[in-house]
């Protein structure tokens, strides 16, 4: 065919009929609808990114549910953006899909990352445990094994550990991993009623689970070996030793269950109850507000020979409220030390100097109205303490305890929080040793100048946690009060119950009638940076519900109203989430979501293959969508 014929054929072709106005309107309407949906998805994705960026500041508590739900919602909206852009562009932006899939896969890998237990043994005798095994047996039992192995002059009750591998086997055997995760996904962090319901449901799932036969056999074998070393029918104490518990920043003080004086027949039942206590209301709340991933906290359990304690308590190798004081603090009671840690009794206090020859600097003997003792067959009971006004220990025993505290501090190279007891033969046994968080007091030259002539509503008590704060008084007496406690209130209660720790993320300060500074609630208050004044005697009688007060824990006083001179000295709380595992996970996920690398649409690298984050995809898609929408006349019908 000649050139002339080809040209003639081209110009003589029949042109397609022009599209009707109605057809054009229909196409434009469909494209405009896709454009609007794209913009809506874009705005939603950007708002979710902003929410996650704000969470990075660490000033508000959030859990893995927040990260997973926001990351999922962003991915859903970005996928919609790609879909609507391809509708606008006639499918020419399909190169975005593999880029998106690659980023989504990386996010999913971060969110599903999970460490397997490093120790595969289901049960280990305490004699084989040391501090390097904390990831398999928990810090509590790892430290006790370390003391038993490396500090033979210190006595530790004999026993064994049911490991993290056993916990994993129990959950797998009962198909609980996915079910627990599903329930946690729906958790509203700020809704304590929702938290309470979730806590009860998950605990019942665990308690109702069956023991895997291999685990059951391993536990009873270890118990029989303990019987051989101790005595037939030996009763034991089962104590939580969760991964992450008993560290300097996350003590989990009093948040998990322990059970004393347990007989052989009930070991497995109590074991399941301790596993379930991982999801107790206070424990779930604590993890959320300390930024700990649920999947990182395996519950190990220590099973130790029960000691008939003549006296017991807790000691700090240094003063936790003032790093400048060179002294050991010892709280002691008659009977089992549980009344010290649960705050139900005002314990005796010994202040002992540090050094090669410790000396008693000061002692305060309290009226200890009750004590905890072992029942003949199983369990413990509170009974009246007929010798309550007498010292729980002697000066010589206090100095011996101080020497042990210093030995533990030297070995672990950090101040220690030590639970101890005296057996009926007067021997000191170490029940727990964990790092002690210390604080530096604020510089206050003249407290009188700060408060002027203002009379105090209450003076005295013990500084359990430093600080100054103000808020309305709220009396907490029962668990029902947990559901009604308002944000920013001052928690006033009869004794320093560990269960009240779930309120510390919302409380301005804590004031109690009874309780020692070495108890569980005091520990958690220091971790959260909440001012706490314990052992005031009658705060619940002197402070009226709803009354606004200023709590000066440093100065051991409570004033009516807001004392701005004192509040001006308050140290701003560091974001509790910063540096926590959950916060670190958010930071890692955000590297795949938020950075914007595609900023200039005129550059040659402004194309799908150069998108490295979800934000890049939204930026590229938005720019292209605008071009496609306003290039309607160039689009094929």
What is the domain range of residue 386?
309-435
**Pair (395, 462) in one structural domain:** no
Is the predicted pLDDT of residue 517 greater than 90, yes or no? no
**Are 406 and 483 members of one domain?**
no
Nearest CA to 346 out of 485, 495, 174 is that of 495
Both structure tokens of 351 = 């202040």
Q: Are residues 197 and 286 in the same domain?
A: yes
Give the residue-averaged pLDDT of 419-442.
87
Average pLDDT over residues 526-546: 91
The structure's pTM equals 0.76
Q: Which of 386, 401, 435 is the last residue of a domain?
A: 435
- CB-based burial label for 584 (10 Å; 0-12, 13-18, 19+): middle
CA 103 to chain centre: 29
Choose one of 406, 435, 464: the last residue of a domain: 435
In this prediction, residue 14 has a pLDDT band, given cuts at 50, 70 and 90, of low
pLDDT tens digits, 255-279: 789 999 999 999 999 999 999 999 9
Same domain, 426 and 351: yes
Please give the pLDDT value at position 428.
97
Question: 271 or 582: whose pLDDT is higher?
Answer: 271
CATH number where 542 lies: 3.50.30.10
The pLDDT confidence band at residue 600, using thresholds 50, 70 and 90, is confident
Q: Residue written as tokens 């009604």?
A: 484
Secondary structure of residue 526 in the 3-state scheme: helix
Torsion of CA 376, 381, 382, 384, to 10 degrees: -30
- Per-residue b/e over 186-217, b at no fewer than 16 CB within 10 Å? ebebeebeebbebbeebbebbeebebbeebee
* ∠ CA 421-424-429, rounded to 5°: 30
Average confidence (pLDDT) over 119-139: 92
Question: Helix 395-412 to helix 139-150 angle, to the nearest 10 degrees?
Answer: 100
Residue 475, judged by CB atoms within 10 A of its CB (0-12, 13-18, 19+), counts as middle
Residues 331 and 247 in one domain: no
Q: What's the pLDDT score for residue 234?
A: 96
Q: What confidence tens digit (pLDDT) does each residue in 181-234 have?
A: 888 876 665 677 778 888 899 999 999 999 999 999 999 999 999 999 999 999
Say if 242 falls within a structural domain: yes
pLDDT band at 637 (very low <50, low <70, confident <90, very high): very low
CA distance 163 to 523: 26
Percentage helix, strand, coil, to 5, in the chain?
A: 45, 20, 40
| Mean model confidence pLDDT for the chain | 87
Residue 135 falls within a domain, yes or no? yes
pLDDT(249) > 90 = no
Q: Is pLDDT at 19 greater than 80 in this prediction?
A: no
574 lies in some domain: no
Tens digit of each residue's pLDDT (9 = 90 or more) over 283-333: 888 887 777 788 888 999 999 999 999 999 999 999 888 777 889 999 999
Q: Does any domain span residue 13?
A: no
User: Which residue, of 288, 305, 322, is where some domain finishes?
Assistant: 305
Q: Determine the average pLDDT of the residues in 364-392.
A: 91
Let me know whether 158 and 273 are in one domain.
Answer: yes
Least confident of 16-25, 110-119, 291-300, 377-386: 16-25
Taking residues 401-414, report their average pLDDT. Answer: 94
Of the candidates 303, 163, 241, the residue with the CA atom closest to the CA atom of residue 434? 241
Q: Do 356 and 237 share a structural domain? A: no
Given a contact cutoff of 8 angstroms between Cβ atoms, the answer to whether 523 and 542 are in contact is no
User: H or E element: which one contains 165?
Assistant: helix 164-173
Average pLDDT over residues 471-484: 90
Place of tokens 């308690």: 207
Mean pLDDT is lowest, of 260-264, 345-349, 631-635, for: 631-635
Model confidence at 390: pLDDT above 80 = yes
The count of structural domains within the chain is 4
pLDDT of residue 175 exceeding 60, the answer is yes
CB 440 within 8 A of CB 322: yes
Alpha carbon distance 304, 322 (integer Å): 34
Catalytic residues: 520
User: CB within 8 A of 457, min separation 6: which ones?
Assistant: 542, 543, 549, 558, 559, 560
User: pLDDT higher for 13 or 73?
Assistant: 73
* Residue of 529 and 12 predicted with greater confidence: 529
CATH (domain of 385): 3.30.470.20
pLDDT of amino acid 212? 97
Number of neighbouring beta carbons within 10 Å of residue 360: 16
- The CATH number linked to 194 is 3.30.1490.20
Shared-domain flag, residues 525 and 551: yes
Is residue 9 situated within a structural domain?
no
Q: Is the pLDDT of residue 29 over 90?
A: no
What is the pLDDT at residue 451? Answer: 60
447 pLDDT above the threshold of 90: no
Query: Do residues 587 and 538 share a domain?
Result: no
> Could you tell me if 387 and 314 lie in one domain?
yes
Smallest CA-to-CA distance from 284 within 271, 302, 297 is with: 297
Main-chain phi, psi angles of 12, to 5 degrees:
-95, 0
Across residues 387-391, what is the average pLDDT?
A: 92
For residues 233 and 370, membership in a common domain is answered with no
Q: What pLDDT does residue 343 have? A: 85
Q: Which residues contact 4 (CB under 8 A, 6 or more apart)?
A: none
Q: How many distinct helices (H) and strands (E) make up the chain?
A: 21, 21
Residue 60 pLDDT:
72
**Is residue 292 located within the same domain as residue 315?**
no
**Residue 572 resides in a domain:** no
- Is 352 a member of any domain? yes
Residue 7: its pLDDT value, please? 47
């Amino acid at each position: 065919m000649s050139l002339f014929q080809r040209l003639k054929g081209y110009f003589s072709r029949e042109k397609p009929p022009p599209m009707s106005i109605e057809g054009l309107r229909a196409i434009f309407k469909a494209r405009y609808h896709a454009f609007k949906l794209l913009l809506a998805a874009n705005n939603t994705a950007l708002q979710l990114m902003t929410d996650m960026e704000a969470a990075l500041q660490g000033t508000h508590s959030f859990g893995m549910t927040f990260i997973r739900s926001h990351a999922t919602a962003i991915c859903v909206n970005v996928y919609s953006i790609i879909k609507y852009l391809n509708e606008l562009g006639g499918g020419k932006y399909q190169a975005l899909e593999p880029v998106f899939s690659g980023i989504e896969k990386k996010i999913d890998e971060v969110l599903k990352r999970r460490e397997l237990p490093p120790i595969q043994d289901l049960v280990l005798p305490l004699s084989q445990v040391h501090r390097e095994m904390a990831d398999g047996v928990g810090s509590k039992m790892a430290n006790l094994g370390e003391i038993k192995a490396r500090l033979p002059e210190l006595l530790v009750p004999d026993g064994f550990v049911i490991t993290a591998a056993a916990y994993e086997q129990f959950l797998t055997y009962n198909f609980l991993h996915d079910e627990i995760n599903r329930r946690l996904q729906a958790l509203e962090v700020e809704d304590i009623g929702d938290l309470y319901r979730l806590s009860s449901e998950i605990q019942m799932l665990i308690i109702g689970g069956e023991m895997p036969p291999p685990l059951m056999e391993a536990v009873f074998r270890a118990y029989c070996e303990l019987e051989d070393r101790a005595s037939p029918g030996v009763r034991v104490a089962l104590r939580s030793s969760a991964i992450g518990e008993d560290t300097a920043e996350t003590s989990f003080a009093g948040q998990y269950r322990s059970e004393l004086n347990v007989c052989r027949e009930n070991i497995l039942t109590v074991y399941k109850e301790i596993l379930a206590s991982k999801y107790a209301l206070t424990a779930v709340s604590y993890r959320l507000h300390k930024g700990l991933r649920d999947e990182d906290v395996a519950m190990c359990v220590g099973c130790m020979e029960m000691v008939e304690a003549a006296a017991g308590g807790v000691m700090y190798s240094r003063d936790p409220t003032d790093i400048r004081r060179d002294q050991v603090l010892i709280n002691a009671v008659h009977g089992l030390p549980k009344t010290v840690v649960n705050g139900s009794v005002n314990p005796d206090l010994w202040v002992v100097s540090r050094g090669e020859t410790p000396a008693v600097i000061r002692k305060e003997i309290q009226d200890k109205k009750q004590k905890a003792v072992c029942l003949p067959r199983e369990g413990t009971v509170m009974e009246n303490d007929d010798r309550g006004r007498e010292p729980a220990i002697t000066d010589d025993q206090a100095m011996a305890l101080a020497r042990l505290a210093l030995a533990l501090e030297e070995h672990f190279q950090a101040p220690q929080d030590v639970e101890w007891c005296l057996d009926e033969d007067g021997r000191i046994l170490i029940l727990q040793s964990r790092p002690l968080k210390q604080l530096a007091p604020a510089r206050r030259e003249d407290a009188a100048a700060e408060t002027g002539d203002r009379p105090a509503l209450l003076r005295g008590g013990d500084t359990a946690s430093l600080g100054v704060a103000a808020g309305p008084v709220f009396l907490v007496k029962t668990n029902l009060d947990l559901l009604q406690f308002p944000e920013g209130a001052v928690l006033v209660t009869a004794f320093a119950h560990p269960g009240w720790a779930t309120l510390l993320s919302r409380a301005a300060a804590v004031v109690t009638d009874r309780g020692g500074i070495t108890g569980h609630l005091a520990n958690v208050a220091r971790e959260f940076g909440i001012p706490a004044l314990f052992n005031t005697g009658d705060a619940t009688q002197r402070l009226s519900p709803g009354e606004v007060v200023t709590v000066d824990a440093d100065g051991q006083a409570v004033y009516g109203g807001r004392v701005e001179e004192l509040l001006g000295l308050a140290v701003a709380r560091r974001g509790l989430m910063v540096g926590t595992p959950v916060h670190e996970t958010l930071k890692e996920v955000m590297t795949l979501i938020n950075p914007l690398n595609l900023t200039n649409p005129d550059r040659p690298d402004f194309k799908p293959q150069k998108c490295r984050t979800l934000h890049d995809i939204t930026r590229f898609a938005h720019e292209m969508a605008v071009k496609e929408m306003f290039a309607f006349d160039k689009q094929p019908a």
